[in-house]
Amino acid sequence: MTNAAFSRYVGVVFLACTLPALVVLGYAQAPTTIKGMPASFTAECSSCHIAYAPFLTGQANWRGVMDRLDKHYGVDASLDSKTQREISTWLLANAASSAPLAAVSPDFRITRSDWFIRKHYWSASIWKRASIKSASNCGACHSGAARSDFDAGSVRVPK
């Protein structure tokens, strides 16, 4: 085997060994990194609640939320205009674009949209459990909620 052929061989073996690992790693990390997510999104939005992923609702709801931050479901969540614009732009660019997620809902709330209520049809009394407390406490049942992983297979409803 010539030197060049040998190094080609080593390269192919190396790739064959590492590619599957890279693909698996990439897949495992996919939900944690949403394209272009500004640092301000987690810093500002997830101080008080989990950082709801932009794809959970459509542009109309995001506009409704982001245009009223000074009256944000009972609290003042206002931001300086630069941060407000930065987060809005990113949310709108990555919002859900097709039904049923994109439909506008009462108070622009994800938890009051038809698809959400349908998916959680069994849960009206379960929300009140001390271990859950609120429909917005996604992480109580969806262990991957903080990285926007809502895979139904990993749901565990606490007692």
Give the interface with another protein as residue ranges (CB under 8 A): 46-50, 73-80, 133-134, 136-137
The one-letter amino acid at 105:
S
Q: Taking the complex as a whole, how short is the minimal distance between the CB of residue 128 and another protein, in angstroms?
A: 12
Q: Which is nearer to another protein, 50 or 92 (CB)?
A: 50
Q: Taking the complex as a whole, how short is the minimal distance between the CB of residue 18 and another protein, in angstroms?
A: 38
User: What is the Cα–Cα distance from 149 to 159, expressed in whole angstroms?
Assistant: 21
C-alpha triplet 121, 123, 124: angle, nearest 5°:
100
User: What is the Cα–Cα distance from 157 to 117, expressed in whole angstroms?
Assistant: 16
What is the Cα 45 distance to its own chain's centre? Answer: 12
3-class SS at 72? strand
Q: Which is nearer to another protein, 100 or 144 (CB)?
A: 144
Q: Taking the complex as a whole, how short is the minimal distance between the CB of residue 52 and another protein, in angstroms?
A: 11
Q: Which is nearer to another protein, 29 or 46 (CB)?
A: 46
Q: Which is nearer to another protein, 9 or 73 (CB)?
A: 73
Q: Taking the complex as a whole, how short is the minimal distance between the CB of residue 119 and another protein, in angstroms?
A: 20
Q: Taking the complex as a whole, how short is the minimal distance between the CB of residue 80 and another protein, in angstroms?
A: 8
Q: Which is nearer to another protein, 100 or 143 (CB)?
A: 143
Phi, psi of 58 (to 5 degrees): -95, 180
Nearest to 91 by CA among 43, 52, 33, 140: 52
What is the Cα 11 distance to its own chain's centre? Answer: 37
Angle at which helix 81-93 crosses helix 59-66, to 10 degrees, equals: 170
